[in-house]
């Protein structure tokens, strides 16, 4: 028996052969933590699934809201292009005067294009669209004025005001207010989405922190033994950080899946909506880069939550 | 290897568990600490492993003044001290192998080498065939031996044991004490706390006797060696 022990004689010259960790030891330890933490999650599948579901929803909600807004902005931008100024000229303005007025407008720097709609064109359009064709036959004269449709370049405000003041112009129709209101609503909603995302991220942080805290409490004996055996604080903490990392990552994947499901559900009505807008805009989901960003952010969130819990709750057995 | 210089330990509640305690253990020496219950045996060992700090005096272990060790250095000191506990403190949700491997995992020993060293340690305590068992499936004596294998697997220069034979029958107790004797023979400094004075005397090693936190005797029994 003694001979066997002989082989394991400690080297008195180097009492601390494990003092400075090699790169290999470091890697060994990280792999150990990575997989032991994964094993812990798998050991309690239901608790883990429940936690992940809560986290997944918490992350998916703000993402969905943001996606909705991003799409709405695209839609609004598109509608915004219909923000042309319509100037109805005084009835009876003759054709040459109308053309001259249009030419004057085209020369302006803040005008991109001018379309002239003669009273005849207006009447034709009206007949086609309104279905009042027969009724219109009764009229002996054309009551419609000539209309200039002006596409502004840059700020349309002054242009609209000048047109309104022009004696040749009867009426100006311009939907600036409507667009400003829509923009204001979108900006507000976007800010709301950011606040919501912040709050839900905080909730996710707390959920992960609390889960890790319970995990730590359930493993207090293991932690104490590891500390007795000379485990560094970082080593004791690491498996919990990895748990947090896994929670965050899986929750991120889950939230992306939830968003995917929502997209599938919304696909048909969305197609109808885009068709109604003559496919002038396309609804979009998350791009690859955005998905990766979501995963990275949720993993980081998980790590942070675990870090906060671990630094707060692993203090056992250490004299100052 | 272990030196106490006029060490005092007063617990936060004002109780003096140790006072004016001085002794030194050479490298490779083995000694027992004995005394009545509450004499301060556990406290003495806790100071060696830096589980507690002395309130007076100086403790030196492995040539390092523990008073100069900062919080961040505590883990390193503990890796140099193998510890055996009366209640063995094995992790019940892990196999015998994993329990013994823990100090090597903590030290970052590569896996292949780890397996070799764990088996060598288990072989030494005669439990090689039980490596896959759960600790709860083992007898008290076997559990204690697993605890010993864990304490020596990383080959620490110092080995301390607090009542390692506390609830074992006399024959098992003698066997366990014999194991400690073997570790001393390969150069490990061994300090064992026990109130089983007859057994301690039979071992023929140096004996430190504590009484109310004071060293009242320090002798080498004359009779049989191991
Ligand atoms: N954490 C503590 N706080 C306050 N007093 C303590 C603490 N730990 C131990 N003591 C006291 O210090 C004295 C010595 O305790 P210690 O555990 O060292 O005795 P012991 O010799 O190991 O006794 P036993 O043989 O019963 O294990 C005891 O009177 C005990 O009540
Ligand atoms: Mg004791």
Residues A173-218: tens digit of each pLDDT: 776 667 777 778 888 888 888 898 889 889 888 988 998 898 888 8
Distance of CA A319 to the CA centre of its chain: 48
CA of B42 to the centre of ligand 2 (A): 4
Is B41's C-beta closer than 6 angstroms to any atom of ligand 1?
A: yes
What is the rounded average pLDDT for all residues in chain B?
92
Q: What is the mean pLDDT of residues A103-107?
A: 87
Residue A79 is predicted with a pLDDT of 54
Q: What is the mean pLDDT of residues A156-165?
A: 81
By the 8 A CB rule, do B128 and A4 touch? no
Angle between helical axes of A23-43 and A45-80 (0-180°, round to 10)? 90
Phi, psi of B75 (to 5 degrees): -60, -40
Chain B residues with CB-CB distance to A215 below 8 A: none
Q: What is the mean pLDDT of residues B12-23?
A: 95
- Give the residue ranges of DSSP H helices in A147-232: 157-165, 176-218, 220-228
pLDDT above 50 (res A242): yes
Q: What is the CATH number of domain B1-80+156-226?
A: 3.40.50.300
Interchain CB contact of A229 with B (< 8 Å)? yes
Residue B22 is predicted with a pLDDT of 96
CA of B192 to the centre of ligand 2 (A): 11
Tokens of A111: 């005008």
Report the share of chain B in percent with pLDDT over 70.
98
Q: Which domains does chain A have, with CATH numbers?
A: 32-79+180-315 (no CATH), 85-155 (3.30.70.3040)
By the 8 A CB rule, do B44 and B97 touch? no
Tokens of A185: 């609503």
Residue A27 is predicted with a pLDDT of 81
Looking at ligand 1, which residue's alpha carbon is closest to its atom 17? B42
Rg for chain B, CA atoms, rounded: 17
Mean pLDDT lowest among A273-287, A288-302, B65-79, B200-214: A273-287
Q: What is the mean pLDDT of residues B184-205?
A: 92
Residue of A273 and A295 predicted with greater confidence: A295
Q: What is the mean pLDDT of residues B94-99?
A: 94
- B28: pLDDT confidence band, cut at 50, 70 and 90? very high
- A74: pLDDT confidence band, cut at 50, 70 and 90? confident
Residue of B114 and A172 predicted with greater confidence: B114
Residue A164 is predicted with a pLDDT of 83
Report the share of chain B in percent with pLDDT over 90.
79
CA of B15 to the centre of ligand 1 (A): 9
- A139: pLDDT confidence band, cut at 50, 70 and 90? confident
Give the residue among A205, A313, A192 at the shortest CA–CA distance from A251: A205
Nearest listed ligand to the Cα of residue B196: 1
Q: Which H or E run contains B191?
A: strand B189-193
Residue B226 is predicted with a pLDDT of 47
- Domain-wise residue ranges, chain B: 1-80+156-226, 91-155
- State pTM to two decimals: 0.73
- Give the residue ranges of DSSP H helices in B57-95: 74-79
Pocket test for ligand 1, best of B8, B14, B35, B42 (most atoms within 8 A of CB): B42
Q: What is the mean pLDDT of residues A65-76?
A: 78
Residue B205 is predicted with a pLDDT of 93
Residue A21 is predicted with a pLDDT of 58
Residue A83 is predicted with a pLDDT of 66
Q: Which of A79-88, A239-248, A280-289 has the highest mean pLDDT?
A: A239-248
Residue B150 is predicted with a pLDDT of 97
pLDDT above 90 (res A284): no
Separation of alpha carbons A269 and B204, rounded Å: 91
pLDDT above 90 (res B193): yes
SS3 B125: coil
Residue B53 is predicted with a pLDDT of 94
By the 8 A CB rule, do B45 and B33 touch? yes
Residue A78 is predicted with a pLDDT of 56
Answer whether A8 sits within 8 Å of B124, measured CB to CB.
yes
Residue B149 is predicted with a pLDDT of 95
Q: What is the mean pLDDT of residues A57-76?
A: 82
pLDDT above 80 (res A3): no
pLDDT digits (tens, 9 = 90+) for B116-158: 999 999 999 999 999 999 999 999 889 999 999 999 999 999 9
By the 8 A CB rule, do A244 and A307 touch? yes
**Who surrounds ion ligand 2 at CB < 5 A?**
B 42
Give the residue among A233, A232, A240, A236 at the shortest CA–CA distance from A302: A240
Separation of alpha carbons A144 and A301, rounded Å: 64
SS3 B102: helix
Give the residue among A46, A51, A39 at the shortest CA–CA distance from A247: A51
pLDDT digits (tens, 9 = 90+) for A294-320: 999 999 999 999 999 988 888 654 555
Give the residue among B152, B160, B132, B125 at the shortest CA–CA distance from B25: B160
């Amino acid at each position: 028996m003694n001979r066997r022990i002989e082989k394991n004689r400690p080297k008195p010259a180097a009492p601390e052969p494990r003092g400075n960790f090699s790169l290999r030891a470091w890697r060994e330890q990280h792999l150990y933590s990575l997989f032991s933490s994964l094993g812990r999650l798998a050991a309690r599948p239901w608790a883990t699934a429940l936690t992940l579901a809560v986290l997944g929803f918490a992350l998916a909600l703000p993402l969905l809201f943001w996606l909705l807004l991003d799409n709405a902005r695209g839609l609004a931008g598109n509608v915004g292009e219909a923000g042309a100024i319509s100037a109805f000229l005084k009835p009876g303005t003759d054709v040459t005067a109308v053309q001259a007025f249009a030419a004057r407008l085209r020369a302006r720097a803040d005008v991109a294009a001018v379309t002239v709609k003669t009273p005849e064109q207006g009447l034709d359009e009206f007949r086609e669209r309104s279905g009042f064709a027969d009724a219109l036959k009764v009229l002996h004269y054309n009551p419609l004025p000539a209309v200039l449709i002006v596409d502004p370049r840059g700020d349309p405000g002054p242009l609209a005001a000048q047109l309104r003041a022009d004696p040749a112009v009867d009426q100006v129709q311009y939907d600036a207010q409507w667009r400003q209101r829509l923009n204001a609503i979108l900006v507000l909603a976007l800010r709301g989405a950011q606040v919501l995302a912040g709050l839900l991220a905080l909730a996710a942080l707390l959920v992960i922190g609390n889960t890790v805290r319970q995990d730590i409490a359930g493993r207090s004996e293991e932690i104490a033994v590891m500390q007795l055996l000379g485990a560094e604080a970082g080593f004791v903490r690491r498996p919990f950080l990895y748990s947090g990392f896994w929670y965050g990552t899986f929750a991120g994947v889950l939230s992306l899946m939830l968003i995917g499901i929502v997209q599938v559900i919304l696909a048909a009505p969305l197609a109808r909506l885009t068709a109604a807008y003559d496919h002038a805009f396309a609804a979009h989901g998350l791009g690859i880069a955005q998905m990766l960003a979501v995963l990275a952010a949720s993993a980081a969130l998980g790590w942070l939550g675990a870090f906060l819990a671990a630094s707060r709750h692993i203090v056992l057995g250490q004299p100052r | 290897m272990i030196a106490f210089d006029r060490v005092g330990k007063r617990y936060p509640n004002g109780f003096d568990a140790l006072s004016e305690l001085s002794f030194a253990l050479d490298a490779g020496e083995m000694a027992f600490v004995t005394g009545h219950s509450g004499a301060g045996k556990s406290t003495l060992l806790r100071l060696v492993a830096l589980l507690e700090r002395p309130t007076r005096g100086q403790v030196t272990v492995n040539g390092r003044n523990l008073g100069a060790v900062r919080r961040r250095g505590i883990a390193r000191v503990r890796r140099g001290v193998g510890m055996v506990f009366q209640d063995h403190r094995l992790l019940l949700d892990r196999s015998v192998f994993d329990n013994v491997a823990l100090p090597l995992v903590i030290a970052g020993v590569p896996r292949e080498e780890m397996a070799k060293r764990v088996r060598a340690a288990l072989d030494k305590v005669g439990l090689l065939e039980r490596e896959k068992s759960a600790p709860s499936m083992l007898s008290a004596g076997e559990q204690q031996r697993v605890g010993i294998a864990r304490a020596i697997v990383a080959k620490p220069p110092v080995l301390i044991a607090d009542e390692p034979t506390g609830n074992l029958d006399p024959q098992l107790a003698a066997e366990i004490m014999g194991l400690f004797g073997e570790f001393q023979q390969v150069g490990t400094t061994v300090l064992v706390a026990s109130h089983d004075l007859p057994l301690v005397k039979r071992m023929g090693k140096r004996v430190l006797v504590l009484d109310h936190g004071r060293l009242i005797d320090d002798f080498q029994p004359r009779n049989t060696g191991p």
